[in-house]
Amino acid sequence: MALVRTTTTAAVLESDVKIAVTSATGFAIGYQVRLGDETMQVSKGYVAGSLQVPVLRGQAGTLAKAHANGSGVTVGTASDYAQSTPPQTSAPFQIAGRARIITEYNAAGAIALPPAGADAIAVINGTVLAMTLANPTSDLDGSVLTILGTIAAAHTVTFAGGVGGGSLTVATFEASGGRCCLQLLAYNQIWYPLPAPFSGTLTTIDIALT
């Protein structure tokens, strides 16, 4: 089968053993569930067609964490998630990987900074949310924060300090064009936009800095 996408209908706490979903399509006992950057498994107590799905939390080396109401949920078999090429099993020189945290936002508020030594993706759901973003701390040098909107909406991101150390403090997503994505690099307690510089010449997928 192919992976199936739905959303949560209630917030999921770190300690919850069930998730509430919009659609039961694709759910079956033993199937893998991806919610943000946490992997879960549908447990034996699941009744086919139920929108209340019992799950085993923190599977496949991930950690249980809280998820907002309306967060995206992906479900499928283990083979549906399998990578298309064989994994690398050994290397003459070990390369350390970076963690990447995914957090979904369904209400206006502050976007969380990435953990030190990691990258982050902030997913903005809903329509016209006003978000804020603090300056990166000194231990975040090299961290990349990606902010994306799942629908075309005039979301705003207000920076505590100017973008790139300048006077532009508000990023406004395009409302009538395509879905937008803003990527930022942290260095020396400043968010640098990637790629830089931004311009106002795009007409369909556009983020204006003011």
Q: Tell me the domains of the chain and their CATH numbers.
A: 4-81 (2.40.33), 100-209 (2.60.120)
The band of 30, judged by pLDDT with boundaries at 50, 70 and 90, is very high
What local confidence, expressed as pLDDT, does residue 94 receive? Answer: 47
Mean local confidence (pLDDT), 114-143: 89
The Cα-based distances of 93 to 88, 90, 117 in angstroms read: 12, 9, 20
What local confidence, expressed as pLDDT, does residue 41 receive? Answer: 96
Residue 200 has pLDDT above 60, yes or no: no
Q: Check if the beta carbon of residue 194 is closer than 8 Å to that of residue 185.
A: yes
Q: Check if the beta carbon of residue 51 is closer than 8 Å to that of residue 102.
A: no
What local confidence, expressed as pLDDT, does residue 79 receive? Answer: 83
Q: Is the pTM of this model over 0.75?
A: no
Coil, strand, or helix at residue 38? Answer: strand
Residue 177 has pLDDT above 80, yes or no: no
Top mean pLDDT of 3-12, 82-91, 187-196 is at 3-12
Residue 84 has pLDDT above 50, yes or no: no
Buried b / exposed e over 12-38, threshold 16 CB at 10 Å, is: beeebeebbbeebebbeeebbbbbbbb
Choice among 27-36, 93-102, 139-148, 172-181 with the minimum mean pLDDT:
93-102
195 prior amide bond cis, ω within 30? yes
What local confidence, expressed as pLDDT, does residue 193 receive? Answer: 87
Q: Calculate what percentage of the chain has a pLDDT beyond 70.
A: 85
Residue 187 has pLDDT above 70, yes or no: yes
Question: Which residues neighbour 125 within 8 Å (Cβ) at sequence distance 6 or greater?
Answer: 70, 71, 72, 104, 105, 106, 150, 151
The band of 51, judged by pLDDT with boundaries at 50, 70 and 90, is very high
Tokens of 67: 């998820």
Residue 110 has pLDDT above 90, yes or no: yes
Which has the closest alpha carbon to 30: 17, 19, 43?
Answer: 43
Which has the closest alpha carbon to 147: 156, 139, 137, 138?
Answer: 156
Instruction: Count CB atoms within 10 A of the CB of residue 99.
Output: 11
